[in-house]
Amino acid sequence: MLSQADDLLAETRAIAATLAPYADHQFDAVTGFKSWTINHVLCHLHVWNRAAWMSYAEPARFDAYMAEVFDAGKARRSMREFELEQSDGLRGQALVKLWSDFAEEICANFRTADPARRVKWAGPDMSVRSSVSARLMETWSHAQAIYDVLGLNRSSSDAIRNIVVLGMNTYGWTFRNRRLEVPEPAPCVHLTAPSGAEWVFNHGETSALITGAAEEFCQVITQVRNVGDTSLQVEGENAVRWMSIAQCFAGPPNDPPPVGSRRRSTTLLVPAPKA
């Protein structure tokens, strides 16, 4: 069984439950992530969940779909507009249902998939295990903007270990993606999981060290927080360089958000009566 599929489903259900009390118009709240609204976030997650499923179940259709994506870019259409169109133009609770129902379906199917099978993606091919882990990473990281704009503290589970591992596996890629020489050796990473368990990577291989909460490490590698806005302890040149540009997701180099630019709202967004 592919446990990452269960982890993705649990994360999806947690977000859907969080959003359940809110009225449709509140999904137009603008988040701290590139001025996306909650609707934008959900459309984005749904569209790329669809793409991940196509890459596994319908590879030829995936190729055609990616051609649509690139054609939209050539036509200078906003990717947000494209994703809204691909989500049937739905918003609010109807969009939550579309996204979460589809996630339920694909997670049930991914549970019994061959985790080692190779599938296509916008970047290099990857294993099914990595593909589903990437969907978990995207879902968890983009949801941070939702929790932030609602003014809520989120509660993560130890399933974020999948994201930590993805971060560790993309240490070298972070530098190569920027055409930089990869500094070796990679830092030792000593993290405290949400459960209180200790997770250690590259133990004893280097003097460079990153210590702290696993959740904050995940926030940095997914670029939903600047490392300066966390309590992570970062020691040694290789660790400092990595945390200043860490990027565990595909695509061209992205710079982390400036210090203080992404944080939880101090104002709680109270659910409004639904129409």
pLDDT in tens, 89-111: 999 999 999 999 999 999 999 99
65 and 148 part of one domain? yes
Q: Is residue 250 part of a domain?
A: no
pTM score of the predicted model: 0.94
112 and 173 part of one domain? no
> What domain range includes position 61?
3-153
124 and 34 part of one domain? yes
Which domain-ending residue is among 153, 183, 206? 153
Which domain-ending residue is among 127, 153, 179? 153
Query: Facing residues of 234 across strands?
Result: 210
CATH of the domain at 16: 1.20.120.450
Please give the Cα distance from 75 to 88 (Å, whole number): 20
Helical (H) or strand (E) element with 10: helix 3-19
195 and 66 part of one domain? no
pLDDT confidence of 32, banded at 50, 70, 90?
Answer: very high
Q: Is residue 251 part of a domain?
A: no
Query: Facing residues of 209 across strands?
Result: 188, 235
Lowest mean pLDDT among 56-70, 74-88, 228-242: 74-88
pLDDT confidence of 78, banded at 50, 70, 90?
Answer: confident
219 and 96 part of one domain? no
Q: Is residue 185 part of a domain?
A: yes
pLDDT attached to residue 265: 95
Q: Is residue 235 part of a domain?
A: yes
pLDDT attached to residue 17: 97
pLDDT attached to residue 77: 66
Q: Render pLDDT for 147-201 as a digit per residue (tens, 0 to 9).
A: 999 999 999 999 999 999 999 999 999 999 999 999 999 999 999 999 999 999 9
79 and 203 part of one domain? no
pLDDT confidence of 76, banded at 50, 70, 90?
Answer: low
Structure tokens at 99: 């996204």
Helix 38-57 to helix 92-110 angle (10° resolution) is: 30
Helical (H) or strand (E) element with 213: strand 209-213
Report the chain's mean pLDDT, rounded to a whole number: 94
pLDDT attached to residue 73: 67
- Tell me whether strands 126-127 and 188-192 are parallel, antiparallel or unpaired: unpaired
pLDDT attached to residue 156: 94
End-to-end CA distance of the chain: 42
pLDDT attached to residue 275: 74
Percentage of the chain lying above the pLDDT 90 cut: 87
49 and 76 part of one domain? yes
Q: Render pLDDT for 198-231 as a digit per residue (tens, 0 to 9).
A: 999 998 777 899 999 999 999 999 999 999 999 9
Dihedral of alpha carbons 243, 249, 251, 256, sign: negative
The CA distances from residue 10 to 27, 110, 242, in Å, are 21, 14, 30
Contact 110, 54 (CB under 8 A): no
Q: Is residue 269 part of a domain?
A: no
16 and 144 part of one domain? yes
Would you say residue 117 has pLDDT above 80? yes
Would you say residue 72 has pLDDT above 90? no
Please give the Cα distance from 218 to 212 (Å, whole number): 11
Which domain-ending residue is among 129, 153, 177? 153
35 and 59 part of one domain? yes
Would you say residue 79 has pLDDT above 70? yes
